[in-house]
Chains A and B, each alone.
Chain A
């Protein structure tokens, strides 16, 4: 009952905030587009037999020289940009959610352990976290992928996660430190609850909402980072291009004035990140205004 009232309160706040509604709507539209890409896209851009050199480098459909199925024009292989964007979104979102899941789980667990047990584990993990933090997620991901080279989507997800868990560990640890001081934790201890029970029954439910907030902010950051890495050629492989990779390929035709190869994938990438950020900002204000964006961006 109480939970229902709470939910409706959040829902009410949400409906009254136009930027949050717009953000979530765009997000969902893009996600649905990505999930159902094979159904929506007029062609499968990576099925070679569907491509034809006659159609290469055509401008968008409303300009002179544009033809019917290629809404946003075509690239140098005759792939429709609209279709490559839908397929690229799958990779971008896949990496984004993959990293948030891995780095979020691992980072939060490390943060919880460090904050709950303190001691050597805390000192060591936070020393490592501080050091990694000083290098910044972006630079670390550069270094890791610079060493391993571009070896597939999974390697990209793991490399970014290795650099990214710090964000979760630091904030979670801070949250745990303040939750542990609460009376209900002492009460749980007094009635003889074991550590594992206290952590899962009392600590995690109380810090989960702020982990959600960081995850939302982090999703936007990771998608940008993946796009950057792929743009530089140390991210996803050529065979499974993400939005960043599409932009990198479009860059070759930048000076030739083939602007649609950059502007459309770039616009979709920007729309995706902006809409996630709009929603994340609302979520942060709603759940925990104390979390500052810069803490997680640095």
Chain B
């Protein structure tokens, strides 16, 4: 078990290093940042000066090693566009993204699991048909379309919810939160639903399938025939065993969540770190792109590792030796 964890840990670090190298390597061939920074009218000398000040005159492997050394100290370089440290830029915007994602995932998990259980218990009812039709739309509508439709209905036509920004936020230490003012809560509703909609549909469909399968098993029949009350059978016996794959899917779906957060933040002009990434792409701001990818790679790899380990505890049948 421990050997497995250590092996996976080393593997994850190896992958993260590989990701960082690939990014760094690819960006060598993607246009000249100096030219973008100084503009077309700069003289050759001015350009050389900027190149030197950014360390871009050194050979490739030196640039990478310096980058790696600095990265380990939390220094991912400076943004080409506004000269602020990349790490600070990303960390400063992280709370907005984390709050949005948490809000979306809480809605998605709560509604997804409960509606999934309902539709598994009564597979032929009218209610279930509605739920399943809704979930089909959920997995079939791209996130950006859901966001635009919500804006069109609730902001443009009805005018009851704000379509962009975070609204009034409250600063607690380094963290800026949305949840302490009425305006902040109003602003998070539309982007939260947009981001959560797809996950909701996925969780619902998986919960329904898993609960449906478990309900047909012998130990559930035994529980019913013992005369246990319905809620005990459903929540203690059936749901508990069905939730393992659901939790795994939520944990392993983090990459998807980050991708969808990028779309949501763009549509709602949400000042989070995912939007920072997209504007960096538009502006050829390589340090921000590379820094973001590496940070995300770390987060995704280690959350995956954590989910795998958690999985062995939740499901004792699985051993990794």
Interface residues, chain A, CB within 8 Å of chain B?
A: 127, 131, 133-136, 138-139, 142-143, 146-147, 149, 220, 224-225, 227-228, 231-234, 244, 247, 251, 254-255, 257, 259, 262-263, 266, 269-270, 273-274, 277-278, 281, 292-294, 297-298
Q: Is the CB of A277 within 8 A of B140?
A: yes
A228 touches B143 (CB 8 A): yes
Instruction: Please report the C-alpha to C-alpha distance between residue A217 and residue B7 in the assembled complex, in whole angstroms.
Output: 34
Give Cα distance in the complex from A220 to B151, angstroms.
24
A171 CB → nearest B CB, Å: 16
Q: Is the CB of A227 within 8 A of B140?
A: no
Interface segment, one of B51-59, B89-97, B255-263, B309-317: B255-263
B141 within 8 A of A: yes
Interchain CB contact under 8 A, A298 and B262: no
CB distance from A247 to the nearest CB of B (A): 7
Shortest CB-to-CB span from B286 to chain A, Å, is: 9
Task: Given A134-B300, A262-B152, A298-B249, check contact A274 B145 (CB 8 Å).
Answer: no
Cross-chain contact B249 with A259 (CB below 8 angstroms) = no
B139 touches A254 (CB 8 A): no
Known A134-B300, A134-B304, A136-B253; contact A234-B136, beta-carbon cutoff 8 A: no
Contact (Cβ within 8 A) A232 B205: no
Shortest CB–CB separation between residue A232 and chain B, in angstroms?
6
Partner of A277, one of B139, B148, B149, B266: B139
Task: Name which of A136, A251, A270, A293 has the most chain B CB atoms within 10 A of its CB.
Answer: A136
Residues of B within 8 A of A292 (CB): 206, 209
Q: A134-B252, A224-B142 are in contact. Are A143 and B202 (CB under 8 A)?
A: no
Partner of B152, one of A142, A225, A259, A293: A259
Chain B minimum-CB-distance residue to A270: B141
Contacts of A281 in B (CB 8 A): 136
With an 8 Å Cβ cutoff, the count of chain B residues facing the other chain is 47
Which residues of B have CB within 8 Å of A149?
Answer: 30
With A135-B297, A139-B259, A149-B30 already in contact, 10 other A-B pairs whose C-beta atoms are closer than 8 Å? A131-B15, A134-B255, A138-B259, A146-B281, A224-B142, A232-B144, A232-B278, A234-B281, A247-B144, A277-B140
Q: Are A298 and B148 in contact (CB under 8 A)?
A: no
Interface of A is mostly: helix
B256 touches A146 (CB 8 A): no
Most chain B Cβ neighbours within 10 Å, of A143, A231, A292: A143
Q: B277 — which chain A residues lie within 8 A by C-beta? A: 146
Question: Of the candidates A136, A147, A228, A277, which one forms a contact with B26 in the assembled complex, judged by CB atoms under 8 Å apart?
Answer: A147
**Cβ-closest chain B residue relative to A277:** B140
Partner among B15, B254, B266, B297 whose Cβ is within 8 Å of the Cβ of A232: B266
- Complex contacts, A274 vs chain B, CB 8 Å: 136-137, 140
Instruction: Find B145's partner among A135, A136, A269 (CB 8 Å cutoff).
Output: A269
- Which residues does chain A contribute within 8 Å of B151, judged by CB atoms? 254
- With contacts A233-B282, A294-B249, A297-B139 taken as known, whether A136 is within 8 angstroms of B256 at the C-beta atoms is yes
Residue B301 CB within 8 A of the other chain:
yes
Indicate if B156 sits at the interface (CB-CB under 8 A).
yes
